[in-house]
Amino acid sequence: MDAKEIKRLLEAMVGSDATELQLETSDYKLAIKRGAQQVIMAQPLPVATPTLAAATSVPAPANAPATAAEAPPPAPATSHLVAVTAPIVGTFYASPSPETPAYVKVGDRVTPGTVLCIIEAMKLMNEIEAEVAGVIKEILVRNEEPVEYGQVLFRIEPA
Within 15-151, strands assigned E span 20-24, 29-33, 82-85, 90-93, 109-110, 115-121, 124-129, 134-139, 146-147
pTM of the complete model = 0.53
Considering the domain architecture, whether residues 93 and 27 belong to the same structural domain is answered as no
CB 86 within 8 A of CB 147: yes
Whole-angstrom Cα distance, residue 30 to residue 2?
A: 12
For residue 71, tell me if it sits in a domain: no
pLDDT at 67 over 80: no
Contact 137, 61 (CB under 8 A): no
Q: In what order do the strands lie in the sheet with 152-158?
A: 82-85, 152-158, 134-139, 109-110
Distance of alpha carbon 34 from alpha carbon 39, whole angstroms = 13
Domain membership of residue 63 (yes or no) is no
Same domain, 95 and 24: no
Is 133 domain-assigned?
A: yes
In a domain, 53, yes or no: no
Q: Is the domain of 82 the same as that of 148?
A: yes
CATH number, position 142: 2.40.50.100
Instruction: Flag whether 55 is in a domain.
Output: no
Phi, psi of 7, deg, nearest 5: -60, -45
Residue 136 burial class via C-beta count within 10 angstroms: exposed 0-12, middle 13-18, buried 19 and up: buried
Residue 101 has pLDDT above 80, yes or no: yes
Element (H or E) spanning 11, and its range? Answer: helix 3-14
Task: Report the distance separating Cα 44 and Cα 33, nearest Å.
Answer: 27
Residues 25, 82, single domain; the answer is: no
Q: Is residue 108 part of a domain?
A: yes
Q: Output the CA angle 90-33-44, nearest 5 degrees.
A: 50
Residue 148 lies in a domain: yes
Residues 82 and 153 reside in one and the same domain: yes
Question: Residue 22 sits in which domain range?
Answer: 3-33
Same domain, residue pair 29 and 90 = no
Average pLDDT score, the chain: 77
State how far the alpha carbon of 83 is from the alpha carbons of 71, 136, 155, in Å. 27, 10, 5
Instruction: Pick the more confident residue, 4 or 89.
Output: 89
93 and 153 in a single domain? The answer is yes
Cβ pair 153, 118 in contact under 8 A:
no
Indicate whether 88 belongs to any domain. Answer: yes
Per-residue model confidence (pLDDT) at position 37: 43
Whether residue 149 sits in one domain with residue 93: yes
Residue 78 has pLDDT above 70, yes or no: no
- As for how many domains the chain has, the answer is 2
Do residue 84 and residue 151 come from a single domain?
yes
Residue 72 has pLDDT above 70, yes or no: no
